Structure 1
Amino acid sequence: MIRWILLFVFVAVIEIYAFQAVRTLTKVRWVLWAYQAISFLIIAYIAYSFTQFDRSVGQNKQTLFTMGLLLITFIPKMVLGVIMFGEDILRVISGIIREFLGNNNESFLNERRKFVSQIALGAAAIPFLSLLYGVTKGKYNFRVKKKTIYYPDLPENFDGLTITQISDIHSGSFDDADEINHAIDLINEQESDILLFTGDIVNTHATEMHPWIDTFKRIKTPELGKYSVLGNHDYGEYIAWDTKKEKEDNFEAIKDLHRQIDFKLLLNENVKIKKGNQEIALVGVENWGHNFKKAGDLPKASEGLTPEDFKILMSHDPSHWEYEVKNDRNNYHLTLSGHTHGLQFGIEIPGFIKWSPVQYVYKQWAGLYEKAGRYIYVNRGFGFHAYPGRVGIWPEITVLELKRGEKIA
């Protein structure tokens, strides 16, 4: 009960400050009434939608819309609130100083200054427009990211091997077939030697992928094949199932989706990828997350392999690399992960800045990382989840080229 009271107070304070900013700029009565009416309707809709959330269904189109509306509405108002609250602090300090100096000819609090409200509204417009763009355009702003990685012990026949990686499809969130088909075309245009998918084919239910099976079957099978692993969302852990069998049946159906889109699903196992008389090992583990499901079994997945074998590991959650893989004696040359989505929000300007709030949770959250010649690449995700958009961290198709030799400085 206390948390609901605190939430109500928080929302009320934010709304009061936002209204004060608007009222400072205009005294037109119908504008003020319209603003209050729209704000009330949005709050009522969001509150109603949350009361309708069904734990047996999980995320759906309505919850995605509601989350987007919540963020687009309240993050800008929070920016407004912070600036207006800052002005109030200065007003109080100014009033105390006047009282101390005995200047009682003015009221304790000065009137709000119009230019502060203008600054506040201008600052609030930045997250508002960014989040709005993220919902309407950013979630399908697919980018192809290319990296070259050098290994002195890469078998000669694999010098120049190209890998296309996708991750975190989250098919239950899609709402635009044309955009998804465009992304599939981008994948096919890379013409890589092998294609790897690192988990989260759905949000929860296998049926989410059914409208998209034919679309993803269009991904061409390259010379060395298409392989995949499971992600944390593929286990149906985030909803309440009526029966244990229902959950198990859904899990089996999710695993079969990979077959239906012509991917070989690796379940704590490895396969040898051959070129001529040489080979490398592709290792696929089930999900292993420091704060999520630990179904991955690296020793089992690596049976028959030696430290000298060149190995590419597919593991959905990058925390697996941080806590187990990077120091493993078996020497996993390259790990491919996803999971973080880069929080679908951040700032990336190559060569200048790379920031997202998710970096305070995951040390490896987007792009390429290295320790003692062992690398991990964290894909920013193909789809989206929870927030129905992306701001600054765009959906990604990764193309990695492996080269034999030392990296040229």
Structure 2
Amino acid sequence: MLRIIILLVFVFLIDWYSYQAFSTIFPEQNWIKIGFWIFSISVYVFVAYGFLTFSRSSPTPNFGRVISLLVLSLIPKLIILAFLFGEDLVRFLSGTYQSLTGNREGDFLADRRKFISQTALVLSAIPFLGILHGVLIGKYRYRVVNHTLEFDDLPEEFDGFTITQISDIHSGSFDNKKKLEYGVELINEQGSDVILFTGDLVNNQATEMEPWIDTFKKLRAPMGIYSILGNHDYGDYVSWPSKEAKAANMLRLYEIQKELGFTLLRNENIKLERGSASIDLIGIENWGKGFGQYGDLKKATANLSDQSFKILMSHDPSHFDEQVKNFSQFIHLTLSGHTHGMQFGIEIPGFIKWSPASLRYPKWAGLYEELGRQLHVNRGFGFLAFPGRVGIWPEITVLELKRK
């Protein structure tokens, strides 16, 4: 109960300070001030209704609209809060100092300065527009990221071998078939030897993928399309009427993988052959620190030679630090996803790369190397919960393997 009270007080302060900014800039325009409260209250009513009617047994993409409206409303107000609370702190300290030194002039607290309120509103418009762009455009703003990776012991026949990695499709969130088809065409345009999908085909239920089967069936790669399961694929985050219903959902998910033309690897491996040489492709079920740990790396590699070149598909990048990098068999390259880069961040190549995801995952996007082993974390093809992407765009990764 105390937490709810603290949350309500905090939300009230956010709105009160935002109202102060508007009332300072528009002191005579009552319709603007009244409109502010009508908008804020309407948002909270809509959000409260969304949370109260949310059902774990039947989640709906409409809940994403609730999240987007909440984010769109609160983030700009937090900018205003920071500026105006800072101004109040300065006003309070200044008034206190003047009172203690006997140099007080006028009221204890100086009037709120219009300039501060104007600056706060202008700066708050930046995240507002950014979030709006992320919801309307950013979530389908596919980008192709290319990397060339060099290995001493890559078989000569695989010199120049190309992989297109996609991850975190989250089909239950899609709402625009035309833009989705463009993304699939962009994957095919890369012309890679193989396509590897590193998990989270759905948000919760296999049926979410059914409207998009014909779209993703168009994916093509000469040496095949291989996939693994992500933490959302198991249906662990929804309520099922029975164990049998959950098991049936998994069976349907396996069937859909086949319908898509994906070869699903579940704690197993296959050989990719080129000429007289081969490399081992390993796929394990989800294993994540703090998430479901269904993966069994020992089982997946039990029949492999220590000397073979190995590529591992493992959905959660925390698996790399927890098991892979110190595993008894040397795994050259691990491909992961899962983080989505939190679908929010700032990336300017050569200058800055930051996302809230970095607070939870030290390895959250891009390439990493440790103990001679390489890891690539894909930023995700789809989106989840928040129906948008701000600064962290949906990613199609093309990896070219080269022999040193």
Q: TM-score range, shorter-chain basis?
A: over 0.9
Q: 1:21-77 CA distances to partner (integer Å, 9 max, x unpaired)? A: 00000021111111111111111111111111112123x222100000000100110
Counting only pairs closer than 5 Å after superposition, residues 191-340 of structure 1 correspond to structure 2 as 191-220=191-220, 222-340=221-339
AA paired with 2:256? Answer: L
Instruction: Measure, in 2, the Cα distance between the counterparts of 1:104 and 1:328.
Output: 70
For 1:239, the aligned partner's letter is V
Task: Please tell me the residue identity of whatever aligns with 1:161.
Answer: F
Aligned to 1:116: 116
Q: Aligned runs of 1:51-62 on 2, under 5 Å?
A: 51-58=52-59, 60-62=60-62
TM-score (norm 1): 0.97
How many residues matched? 403
Q: Are the counterparts in 1 of residues 340 and 380 from structure 2 also a CA contact under 8 Å?
A: yes
CA–CA distance in structure 2, aligned partners of residues 34 and 274 of structure 1: 66
Give SS of 1:331's match: coil
Task: Give secondary structure in 2 for the equivalent of 1:326.
Answer: helix
Query: Per the alignment, in what secondary structure is the counterpart of residue 204 of structure 1?
Result: coil
- For 2:392, the equivalent position in structure 1 comes to 393
- CA deviation after TM superposition for structure 1 residue 373, in Å: 2.3
Secondary structure, aligned partner of 2:196:
strand
Deviations 1:302-361 (A, max 9, x none): 121122110000000000111100111200001000000000011111111111111121
Which stretch shifts more, 311-320 or 43-52? 43-52
The answer to whether the aligner puts 1:32 opposite 2:33 as a matched pair is yes
Verify: 1:46 aligned to 2:44, yes or no.
no
Residue aligned with 2:326, SS? coil
Identity fraction in percent: 53
How far apart are the structure 2 equivalents of 1:105 and 1:285? Answer: 72
- Mapped to 1, the partners of 2:69 and 2:91 lie a distance apart of 33
Q: C-alpha distance in 1, partners of 2:255/2:13?
A: 50
Q: Could you tell me how far apart the structure 2 residues matched to 1:112 and 1:335 are?
A: 55
Partner residue of 2:351?
A: 352
> Could you list the per-position Cα deviations for residues 362-381 of structure 1 after superposition, in whole angstroms to 9, with x for gaps in the alignment?
11110111113211110000
Tell me the SS of whatever aligns to 1:31. Answer: helix
What is the CA distance between 1:103 and its match in structure 2?
A: 3.8
Match of 1:88 in 2: 88
Superposition deviation, residue 247 in structure 1? 1.0
Whether 1:371 and 2:370 are equivalent positions in the alignment is: yes
Distance 1:334 1:352 in 2: 26
Once the two structures are superposed, the pairs formed by residues 130-141 of structure 1 within 5 Å of their partners are: 130-141=130-141
Distance 1:124 1:192 in 2: 43
Q: Is the 8 A contact 2:228 2:283 kept in 1?
A: yes
1:104: how far off?
4.7
What's the offset of the Cα at 1:101?
2.5
* Change in 2 beyond 3 A, CA 1:218/1:105: same
Q: How does 1:68-107 map to 2 (within 5 A)?
A: 68-107=68-107
1:366 partner letter: A
Provide the alpha-carbon RMSD of the alignment: 0.9
Q: Are 2:139 and 2:389, in contact at CA under 8 Å, matched by a contact in 1?
A: yes
Question: Does the residue aligned with 1:149 lie in a helix, a strand or coil?
Answer: strand
Q: 1:299 to 1:105 in 2, by over 3 A?
A: closer
Which stretch of the first structure deviates more once superposed, 377-386 or 272-281?
Answer: 272-281
Determine the structure 1 residue equivalent to 2:142: 142
- Give me the whole-angstrom Cα distance separating, in 2, the residues matched to 1:52 and 1:134: 26
CA distance in 1, matches of 2:40, 2:354: 32
Q: Give, in angstroms, the shift of residue 286 of structure 1.
A: 0.2
- Is the Cα–Cα contact under 8 Å of residues 346 and 354 in structure 2 kept in the other structure? yes
| CA drift at 1:210 | 0.5
Q: Which amino acid aligns with 1:199?
A: G
Structure 1 spans left out of the alignment, 5+ residues: none
The answer to whether the 8 Å contact 2:95/2:104 transfers is: no
Give the distance between the partners of 2:302 and 2:223, measured in 1 at CA.
Answer: 21
Cα drift, residue 4 of structure 1: 1.4
Query: Hey, what's the Cα distance between the residues in 1 that align with 2:255 and 2:352?
Result: 41
CA distance in 2, matches of 1:57, 1:10: 31
Residue range with higher mean Cα deviation, 121-130 or 197-206? 121-130
CA–CA separation in structure 1 for the residues paired with 2:13 and 2:389: 28
Gaps of 5+ in 2: none
